[in-house]
Amino acid sequence: MFSFLMKKAGIFLAKKQGAEGSKEKKEDKPKRLSKKLPENLSVIREIMKGSSDIIIREFYLNLDRIVEGALIMVDGLTDDRIINDNIIYPLMHDARQHLKKTGGDMDIISHIRNSLLSASQVKEETDIDEILNGFLNGDVALLVNGAAKALIISSKGWEKRAVNEPPSEAVVRGPRECFIENLRTNTALIRRKIRNPGLTFESLTVGKKTGTNVCIAYIKGVARQELIDTIKKRLTSIDTDAVLESGYIEQYIEDFPESIFATVGFTEKPDVAAAKILEGRAAIIVDGTPFVLTVPLLFVESFQSAEDYYFRPYFANMLRITRVISYAITILAPALYVAITTFHQELLPTSLLLTTASAREGIPFPAFLECLIMLMTFEILREAGVRLPRPVGQALSIVGALVVGESAVSAGIIGAPMVIVVAITALSSFVTPNEADSAAVLRLILLILGAVLGGFGIAIGLLGTLVHLSSLRSFGYPFLYPIAPFDVEDSKDAILRAPLWLMIKRPKEMSTDIKRQTINVPPTGKDIKDNKGELI
């Protein structure tokens, strides 16, 4: 249904845009620098007219005031120490000596680059757009009179948040660092986990107005080249003005935008991103976002946590099963409650039936309406709790839980079992945070089906969901793999997790280098037995 509506809306909007499209201006050809500094500066001043944060620092490179130069930078994006000590000082002080010695007949830009600047990254540019891009990214642009080239000198240094504990993926055991908004810090966090020369960070710029830096991280020789090519193709085909969060990228590159299920994963933990990269997946790091995208995403990944691999397998598996059950509860509990109380009362044991019936006695609404009211109340409380300042939020949850829940029951508007059902539904939805959004929609669909057709409706709804899920692909990989199509070998890390020493191979078809470790099963058990296999 969603896909049908989206297709129709897409066709309508495309037609409208097609009519207006001819009015759009065509972009100019790239502008080149001229050899005259005043001319170049006036072009840049004209483009950046009205911006108070643009600093243009003009100076002379020698005492005779023959060679003029200018530095262009954005206030607040640069590190003043680097600019003063490593750029301005050598240019104004050391340049005099150098220029005297070498005379005036050399390529001044190359000379400055090779002999004067003590900055780590310097590159030459001739295109004005690239120069603009350079200083808007926090670098300094150096323009010299008589040269049709500029130097972009690395001097980034803006305010950024410290690497602290991940707020939405807190763990009991495992690293407590989290990605931040700065792209380079994020790439460094991954590089620190994977000290392998194959780890590659490929950069792109997305967003015509925001010029957001995006980085694709993968290991050469582990990730499949087709996957990387597909990601690059999809990223470069994004034609939008702004990318403010990785969510923008996610919605532009996913395989099924009309589905309620996301087919691109996200994480704010470097260890999770590193683990996925090591499995042959790719991570997409977007500047300004602490959430790193990972592709391809499989449905089972929503039930996995980094901790599963740090704990021993038995407890980890228990947790995983708990997550699956929680997901089932969060999508099914309200629908099942409504279906059973409305159509299939015989399914309840007699004593439970009597208790439920007496609790619902005098309730003015049918179970379906009662359920909708409670779910809506919960969603309001949750949304309000997120938006309100933290201390008020806590007070609000007490109001919600005690006042609304308790008083609604005692006033006889809502039955006590319904409060329990909605409470357990809400609680379970927090166990699988990555699927919380899809669960909210699915819950409502199943609730309506359960209220109209009872258990049969729920069964139909679940089968429809299964059909939909198995038709989804994430960058070409079946979303339900390794459950549908079922694969025994790759089920070693799906719903259950095998011991680490049994995970000999990477997921099939995800990686070009499938072998992860040599077979040594069990790794240490042989130490306590003698050669005949008897216990010492």
Nearer to another protein, 404 or 459 (CB): 459
3-state helix, strand, coil split of the chain in percent (to 5) is 50, 15, 35
Choose, by CB under 8 A, the member of 464, 508, 517, 529 that binds another protein.
Answer: 464
CA distance 148 to 517: 55
Choose, by CB under 8 A, the member of 485, 527, 530, 535 that binds another protein.
Answer: 485
Least gap, CB of 508 to another protein (angstroms): 13
Q: Is 471 near another protein (CB under 8 A)? A: yes
Q: Is 456 near another protein (CB under 8 A)? A: yes
CA distance 210 to 133: 10
User: Taking contact as CB under 8 A, which single stretch among the options 122-130, 135-143, 265-273, 476-484 is the one that binds another protein?
Assistant: 476-484
Nearer to another protein, 9 or 463 (CB): 463
CA distance 223 to 232: 14
Nearer to another protein, 485 or 533 (CB): 485
Size of site (CB under 8 A) for another protein: 25
CA distance 251 to 257: 7
* CB-count exposure of residue 210 (10 Å: 0-12, 13-18, 19+): middle
Alpha helices in 48-120 (DSSP H): 80-82, 89, 95-102, 108-111
- The length of the chain in residues reads 536
Q: Is 296 near another protein (CB under 8 A)? A: no
Least gap, CB of 250 to another protein (angstroms): 24
CA 517 to chain CA centroid, nearest Å: 29
Nearer to another protein, 349 or 533 (CB): 349
Q: Kindly calculate the radius of gyration of the chain based on its CA atoms and give it in whole angstroms.
A: 30
Q: Is 507 near another protein (CB under 8 A)? A: no
Least gap, CB of 374 to another protein (angstroms): 24
Q: Which residue in 100, 37, 101 sits closest to 72, CA to CA?
A: 37
Choose, by CB under 8 A, the member of 48, 420, 423, 453 that binds another protein.
Answer: 453
Q: What is the DSSP annotation of 486-527?
A: T-TGGGGBSSSB--GGG--BPPTTTBSS-B-S---SSSSGGG
Nearer to another protein, 457 or 507 (CB): 457
Q: Which residue in 184, 165, 182 sits closest to 174, CA to CA?
A: 165
Q: Is 480 near another protein (CB under 8 A)? A: yes
- The 3-state DSSP class for residue 217 equals strand
Record the tokens describing residue 123, joined without a space: 């590159």
Least gap, CB of 467 to another protein (angstroms): 5
Q: Is 478 near another protein (CB under 8 A)? A: yes
Distance from the first to the final alpha carbon of the chain: 67
Query: Strand 122-125 relative to strand 54-60: parallel, antiparallel, unpaired?
Result: unpaired
Nearer to another protein, 221 or 455 (CB): 455
Q: Is 466 near another protein (CB under 8 A)? A: yes
Mention every residue, 6+ apart, whose C-beta is less than 8 A from residue 439: 327, 330, 331, 429, 432
Q: Is 467 near another protein (CB under 8 A)? A: yes
Least gap, CB of 334 to another protein (angstroms): 17
Record the tokens describing residue 380, joined without a space: 């309001």
Choose, by CB under 8 A, the member of 134, 265, 450, 454 that binds another protein.
Answer: 454
Q: Is 457 near another protein (CB under 8 A)? A: yes
Nearer to another protein, 156 or 473 (CB): 473
Residues of this chain, 175-214, that bind another protein according to CB under 8 A: none
Binding mask 418-437 for another protein (x = CB under 8 A): --------------------
Least gap, CB of 328 to another protein (angstroms): 13
Q: Is 460 near another protein (CB under 8 A)? A: yes
Q: Which amino acid appears at position 332 of this protein?
A: L
Choose, by CB under 8 A, the member of 16, 35, 208, 344 that binds another protein.
Answer: 344
Least gap, CB of 451 to another protein (angstroms): 13
Choose, by CB under 8 A, the member of 18, 349, 389, 391 that binds another protein.
Answer: 349
Q: Is 450 near another protein (CB under 8 A)? A: no
CA distance 119 to 310: 42
Query: Strand 199-206 relative to strand 212-219: parallel, antiparallel, unpaired?
Result: antiparallel
User: Taking contact as CB under 8 A, which single stretch among the options 97-105, 205-213, 453-461, 500-508 is the one that binds another protein?
Assistant: 453-461
CA distance 389 to 263: 32
- Chain residues in the site for another protein (CB under 8 A): 343-344, 346-349, 453-457, 459-460, 463-464, 466-467, 470-471, 478, 480, 483-486
